[in-house]
Structure 1
Amino acid sequence: EIRKLDHALEHPARPCIAVLGGVKVDDSIAVADNMLRNEICDEVWVTGGVANLMVELSGYDIGLVNHDFLVGELGKQWYPTVEKAKALLVDFSEKIRLPVDLAANIEDNRVDISLEQLPVSAPIFDLGIQSIRNLSAAIKQAGTVHLNGPAGVFELPDFALGTVEMLNACAESEAYVVVGGGHTATLIMKRNLASKMGHVSTGGGACLDYISGRSLPAVASLEASARAFSMETQSSINIQ
């Protein structure tokens, strides 16, 4: 697991892109922060709840229902996540790829709307058609793809398009694709696409912690133990 992740983090084939979505927005923003500030990836493409937040912070009114959903999901992490996301938009505006359209659930129907048509009083459940095309093209042209989180509410057939096409693009791409996050990994397994990915992590939250640059206590303990064992072995050799 660590070796596969390090391969994509330390020596990524270029261009390297991160595709970050789902509703664990604070985790995805932490990953984006690490990857952009340490020049691991060349672009960050945002989907799902991450896209909704970044679109809102870019000056668009996403509608009260969508704003309130984000606030509820983030809870106490709302303000620190927003501050970190704002800083990323200021420092890396040219590297963060926002959707150009979104799909809202209006009376149980999928309705695609451009950003200029916002706000919308209905919940945003997926990327719009043009954004899906743009993302698929970027994935197919990439050398390395870090993928985390679905692109929308894939449980509803009308709003699974973004996620399905995103995964299909990863399967068709020649890029080294690293998949993190439980939902995304499960979807890939269900669609029998695992063999077409570079690595599908089963680490869940631990994987996200690692690619966001956080220390993993268990790994740190193993490394410390290995160093101590090496020192003891060397000391024993010297004594002999």
Structure 2
Amino acid sequence: MSAYRTLDTLDANGRTVLLRVDLNVPMKDGKVTDATRIDRAVPTILALVKKGAKVVVLSHFGRPKGERVSDMSLAPIAQPLSDALGGLPVAFAEDCIGAPAEKAVAAMKGGDVLILENLRFHKGEEKNDAAFIKALAKLGDIYVNDAFATAHRAHASTEGLAHHLPAYAGLLMQAELEALGNALESPERPVVAVVGGAKVSTKLELLGNLLPKVDYLIIGGGMANTFLYAQGYEVGKSLAERDLADTAREIIAKAEQEGCTICLQTDCVVAGEFAAGAPSEIVPVSAVPGDKMILDAGPESVKAFAGVLRDSETLVWNGPLGAFEIPPFDAATVALAKTAAELTDQGALLSVAGGGDTVAALVHAGVAERFSYVSTAGGAFLEWLEGKTLPGVAALMTDK
């Protein structure tokens, strides 16, 4: 990967740093219900405070579409951020540009922290508008991007600012780029990818990019049903994109050319309906009843998949193996996640996972903390897996 500047080389004493983070957290009744993203912003803020910087925090919140929407204000985030920073005071400015922002920044001293109002209250943010970028850039001396989760967007605060101020990667951005680089750009081999999810159609680019890069590809979730159907198995009432059977066969043929082994389940858990407490049974994939649906991989398959993980050095995981939201259809995902965590604990596996459902599944399995790296950046993580250039990352590169 090309080089980017990190905080190690930054002299920030007394200088104003515009720090782009992702504070787009879930809220209910004005209270934060999951502070993960706030917690992940803390190390970079504290590192900058320690360097004597005036830290001006930039973020979006929700989709106000360029309008001022009161329940999408970042004002309620100031206190939870202060708490996460160990009680360090966090000021708030009622706009992110213009007089309110300029006045609040002018009042800062080294080591102070300020949050500016939601960037997306201005249409110029998502349009990457030159005048809006200039109004933001005017507020600071240095730009630090610590929001990998928004790096796939070419917005004013994620891409535009990097061309107007000296640009650096924050600690979270740096950790994410290092983890992803180790997983697919210069990995220890063999590499195994676990790709799950409902539909093959949403993961075609991802599969196309992974095939030449991985040694094993474990396919799970509803996607696996499409591949089983393509191989001539009856899948009953299962979710399957039967019209993509030819595409699935092409993927299997391409994998063979690339020397990548595709691993599909050989047994499965079936039920008449996807509902809590629905009676279920384990059957071979060759014996799925016509009135039942496949909702999880079976225990024999999990044993085989676990063997593949044990033979591998690097794991990239995106998507669950079954309908993990309702027990017992979470069994395969939980079991394989625990195997991955054990191998990671032993230092035998580098495990990198990401994507919304994946994070939820690993938290559900109680192993999210035990993976080498879990990315909370849904869209950006997926686009990176698809081999796309992320504008927010490209803008940080020193050879741009």
**TM-score, with normalisation over the residues of structure 1?**
0.80
1:207 to 1:22, Cα distance in 2 relative to 1, 3 A:
same
User: Are 1:144 and 2:314 counterparts?
Assistant: yes
Note if contact 1:34-1:211 (Cα within 8 Å) is conserved in structure 2: yes
Deviation of 1:104 after TM superposition, in Å, equals: 0.7
Identity %: 31
Show the counterpart of 2:198.
Answer: 23
User: Are 1:105 and 2:271 counterparts?
Assistant: yes
Structure 1: 4+ residue segments shifted above 4 A: 81-84
Higher relative contact order (CA closer than 8 Å, sequence separation 6+): 1
Counterpart Cα distance in 2 of 1:120 and 1:179: 34
1:199 to 1:126, Cα distance in 2 relative to 1, 3 A:
same
Note if contact 1:152-1:159 (Cα within 8 Å) is conserved in structure 2: yes
Deviation of 1:27 after TM superposition, in Å, equals: 4.0
Counterpart Cα distance in 2 of 1:88 and 1:205: 23
Deviation of 1:194 after TM superposition, in Å, equals: 2.9
Counterpart Cα distance in 1 of 2:373 and 2:217: 19
Deviation of 1:100 after TM superposition, in Å, equals: 0.6
Please give the secondary structure, in 2, of the residue aligned with 1:159.
Answer: coil
Match of 2:262 among 93, 96, 106: 96
User: Are 1:35 and 2:210 counterparts?
Assistant: yes
> What 5-or-longer segments of structure 1 have no aligned partner?
72-77, 229-240
* Number of aligned positions between the proteins: 214
**CA-atom RMSD, angstroms?**
2.2
User: Are 1:199 and 2:369 counterparts?
Assistant: no
Amino acid in structure 1 at the alignment position of 2:385: I
Note if contact 2:196-2:319 (Cα within 8 Å) is conserved in structure 1: yes
Note if contact 1:21-1:28 (Cα within 8 Å) is conserved in structure 2: no
Counterpart Cα distance in 2 of 1:17 and 1:135: 10
**TM-score, with normalisation over the residues of structure 2?**
0.50
Counterpart Cα distance in 2 of 1:182 and 1:168: 19
Amino acid in structure 2 at the alignment position of 1:85: A
Larger relative helix fraction? 1
Note if contact 1:18-1:32 (Cα within 8 Å) is conserved in structure 2: no
Deviations 1:86-137 (CA, angstroms, capped at 9, x unpaired): 3211222461111111111136112111122135321211001211111122
Deviation of 1:187 after TM superposition, in Å, equals: 3.0
> What 5-or-longer segments of structure 2 have no aligned partner?
1-175
Amino acid in structure 2 at the alignment position of 1:58: Q
Note if contact 1:60-1:119 (Cα within 8 Å) is conserved in structure 2: no
